[in-house]
Amino acid sequence: MPDRPQGYRVPARMFHWGIALAVLLMIPAGLTMTREGLSRPLQDTLFIFHKNLGVLLFPFILARLAYRLTHPPPPLPDSMPDWQKRIARLSHVLLYTLLILMPLSGFTRVRAGGFPIELLDWLGFGPWIGKSETLAKMAQGLHYAGAMCLIALLTLHVAATLHHALIRKDSVWPGMWPPRG
Ligand code: HEM
Ligand code: HEM
């Protein structure tokens, strides 16, 4: 009998893959727009894309977290050793932490630097954070460190998924991939 035949619920899968797609666009956009020697129009477009998709993503991340806290995930396969289960759970907690930290530090970096966030400005929101070079620098450092941790953790996350899907062939991958059953 397959362990964990149900897997994640449909909303959990939709949150996971929707946010994953957005994050996988945010990371290369962020890394490219901060490179030297980029043409000004391309850099401006990437900044506008990155800032606005990032703030748009934030309510979805909060909704996902609220859903997760009220709907426990399916148990991990019995065949997994305890230490691997502990690492899997810890990595998920860290991923959620970074999903919160990244938009908040990005927002603070931009607002404390005195820059626009077109979507929020268009909606008539105030800046919420006063201009401060010190705060902008701190938030920039945090955003950069968070980005590097996120990239490292996602590499591990995808490698672990491949291991489950291709080598162990257990219920982890079918438990998150869209088709149920
Ligand atoms: C790119 C951004 C991604 C983020 C931020 C992310 C985040 C997460 C988080 C937080 C969980 C835990 C879900 C929970 O228990 O509530 C999870 C589970 C999972 N993710 Fe991702 N993920 C991403 C991309 C991917 C990709 C590209 C793959 C596959 C190649 C993948 C495969 C999985 C699988 C199979 C699970 C289920 C793990 C389990 O059953 O414990 N994820 N992901
Ligand atoms: C899940 C959300 C986010 C992810 C994964 C992400 C990822 C990244 C990455 C990988 C970089 C390049 C590394 C760096 O220079 O820090 C970056 C830079 C940047 N991001 Fe984000 N970001 C997110 C949200 C946001 C938001 C919401 C804003 C602003 C509203 C923002 C503003 C910026 C800015 C201004 C930079 C350039 C930093 C600098 O001044 O050097 N980010 N981001």
Q: What are the residue ranges spanned by the domains of the chain?
A: 10-176
Interval between CA 91 and ligand 1 midpoint (Å): 10
pLDDT greater than 80 at residue 49: yes
What pLDDT shows up at residue 18?
A: 98
Q: For the chain, give the mean pLDDT.
A: 95
* Ligand 2 atom 43 nearest Cα: 30
Reported as a single tens digit per residue, the pLDDT across 128-143 is: 999 999 999 999 999 9
Q: Is any ligand 2 atom within 6 A of the Cβ of residue 46?
A: no
Please name the fold of domain 10-176.
Fumarate Reductase Cytochrome B subunit (1.20.950)
pLDDT over 70 for what percent of the chain? 96
| Ligand nearest to C-alpha 33 | 2
pLDDT greater than 70 at residue 173: yes
> Which residue from 129, 136, 110, 130 is spatially nearest to 33, judged by alpha carbons?
110
Cβ(33)–Cβ(51) under 8 Å? no
> What ligand 2 atom has the least distance to the C-alpha of 151?
10
Q: Give the C-alpha separation, 170 to 130, whole Å.
A: 51
> Which residue from 13, 61, 22 is spatially nearest to 172, judged by alpha carbons?
13
pLDDT greater than 60 at residue 126: yes
Q: Is any ligand 1 atom within 6 A of the Cβ of residue 88?
A: yes
Interval between CA 151 and ligand 2 midpoint (Å): 13
Q: Give the C-alpha separation, 108 to 89, whole Å.
A: 29
